[in-house]
Structure 1
Amino acid sequence: MLWVKALHIIFVTSWFAGLFYLPRLFVNHAMTEDAATRERLQLMERKLLRFMTPLAVLAIGFGLWTWAYYGFYAGAGWRWMHAKLLLVALLVGYHGWCWQLYRDFATGRNRHSHVWFRWFNEFPVLVLFAVVILVVVKPF
């Protein structure tokens, strides 16, 4: 079971690396006027999304495997897990939103400024703080 936990942590870390970097690419994309730079950024965004999506699936899969091993217990003392699962669902939605933003850039329909993307980039950081606190401290 320790291998499964280790793989879960590795894939979560890798997925988060993509969630941190992709919106940063969006910031640069929103700031540039140069066509060659826009094309290069779009290529980087597409490759990163195609790489990080399987990482997300693996992170969630190994997380569910770990949860199933310990039992899908829903009683007292496991409320932290429900909060964590809610945050994971929000991250999945955020990931999907990143796909939509990528498509907007690809079709020339981006309507957000680089400042908006800078704020957008902060969400996964906040989720990571909350998830780590929930898992380690188990406050409820």
Structure 2
Amino acid sequence: MRFMVIMYPGPQAEAGVLPDEKTLAEMGKFNEELVKAGVLLGGEGLKPSSQGVRIRFPAGGKPQVSDGPFTEAKELIGGFWIIQVKSKEEAVEWMKRCPAAGGEMIELRPVFETEDFAPSDPSGDLRAAEHRLREQVAAKK
């Protein structure tokens, strides 16, 4: 099972304050453990929303682009991991080890796998197309 692990770091990250050297070293050690265990597929920290853009798609209308910061959002994503584990319980156990600071929060969300779409794709054509796209992405790495 793959999970997207979403980090909500709190207001310090949105203010553009980078973690101190100790915190970065602890996070690096944690990420190294994920890699050594074969769990980590990817992950990155995100810059503040002031450097981002949102695109809304209203029903029947044209896409609307808004520059950050996104002050209306109470919880903004500060980073993410993509992990692959055997179960949700294993994902939770890994993330409980994360060296997060007080006030931070982590959300785990399962990633849809192509097999999940089998009932909506009886011919298998859409799943085969998805598989080809994944192969193309992997080949470019």
**TM-score normalised according to structure 2 size:** 0.30
Larger Rg: 2
Q: Which has the higher strand share?
A: 2
Q: Which has the higher helix share?
A: 1
